[in-house]
Amino acid sequence: MTARLMMLDPATPERLDRLRPFLPEGFTIATASGRDPQAQLEAIRQAEFAITGDVPVSAEMFAEGARCGLRAVQKWGVGYDNIDLDAARAAGVRVMRTTGSNAVAVAETALAMMLALNRNIVAGHAGVTGGGWPKGALGATSMMLSGKTVGILGFGFIGQALARLLAGFGCEILYTKRSPLPAAEEARLGARAVTLDALLARADVLSLHCELNAQTRGLIDAAALSRMKPGAILVNLARGGVVVEADLAAAVRSGQLRGAGVDVFATEPVEPGNPLVGLERVITTPHLGAMSADNFAPTVTRMMANLAAVHRGEAPPAGDVLV
């Protein structure tokens, strides 16, 4: 008996070929033809197992998939706000993720954003590429990261990885987390828990790494941005919905913030007219923070092991199980 694995994010033939060597014995792989609801429903009807990266897995998809034999959905990554977990429970479909697998990659991207913004790397590149030599203008606004206060909103695997990377910069590291770490862990990471208000007021750099849920949706709005230190920068590698994008754009345009680095958007792929795209002093990237070619094999191996465990009727590692 073969097991049908469906990539819900449309994949190229080359990407499917890259995945095939990792398939458990007896598995076949195919891909959805598009991201629209009808294409996704057609894909889920053909799946015993499915992998999703960015596309939503709705209640309708879980109900229809379960009717047609869907057994498990694996999230490629960590954030699961695009998956209806209540519907998965109701349908009896297992949902898993690869907890912590992309933490270092995301943390490195956050650090790169901080450095690029502070050192005017992107603006300098664009200036030289455009035939200019904006050394004087950019030098006057370039800043060091070393010795600054970095605030980390969300201090799980990614936030802690970022704290470790920042150790060599001599930064004061503040964080906000629902349940602060024990004092010994804080000392090991060189970080200290503070309230959200203190984080906003004191951070020279605010880096977002929290989940998107009912409590965090729209958390960084005009009111929150107005409480930030004038001239601070913001980096978002969490989820686009944590930030009110129009408010962030207004804060950068007004000079309240010196700049922003944005890897995630409320709607992805990003829609035309998004207020952050093309805005001066804002770096935008296409949700690539978690992606790393040298982390591909370990992540895919772990995903396939989770799916194979369900196929055998065994329990996947508890830390990867969402439903």
d(CA 12, CA 4): 18
User: At residue 193, what is the residue type?
Assistant: A
Tell me if 262 sits within 8 A of 236, measured CB to CB. yes
Q: Which one is catalytic: 71, 94, 97, 287?
A: 287
Examine the residue annotation and report whether 287 is marked as an active-site residue of this protein. yes
Is the torsion defined by CA of 129, 134, 138, 144 positive or negative? positive
Helix or strand or coil: residue 297? helix
Q: Which one is catalytic: 94, 239, 258, 311?
A: 239
Question: What single string gives the DSSP state of each residue in 171-213?
Answer: -EEEEE-SSPPPHHHHHHHTEEE--HHHHHHH-SEEEE-PPPS
d(CA 231, CA 234): 10
Examine the residue annotation and report whether 268 is marked as an active-site residue of this protein. yes
Examine the residue annotation and report whether 314 is marked as an active-site residue of this protein. no
Residues with catalytic roles: 239, 268, 287
